[in-house]
Amino acid sequence: MALQLGEAIKRLGVRPLDRILTRIVATHAVLLLRRWVDDPDLTDEWANIAIEARLPSGAMRRLPRPTHPLCGCRWPDAGRAA
């Protein structure tokens, strides 16, 4: 079924676009960027979390995520390793 849907989408003149999802993702990216610009050293609040957007409301929820099991790396530590 996924293959049929993919082929049908390829035949369309204009690719479908989910405007609501696009707007939610763009808004969230801008909010994260603004928080980083305001205080670039404040990255610990983003460590070990995933941010989930609930549809159709667009409500954001933070979910805890552990460090990488094989190496123990975290996003905030990536810039400090050099």
- For 61-78, how does the pLDDT look when each residue is reduced to its tens digit (9 = 90+)? 888 877 777 776 665 555
> Minimal CA–CA distance to 27: which of 53, 48, 61, 62?
53
For residue 1, what are the CA distances in angstroms to 8, 9, 10? 11, 12, 14
d(C-alpha 62, C-alpha 48), whole Å: 10
Domain ranges in the chain?
17-78
> The tokens of 9 are what?
């989408």
Q: What is the pLDDT of residues 3-39, one digit of tens each?
A: 777 787 788 777 777 778 788 778 878 887 787 788 8
d(C-alpha 39, C-alpha 82), whole Å: 21
Q: pTM of the predicted model, to two decimals?
A: 0.44
Helices and strands of the chain, counted as H and E runs: 3, 2
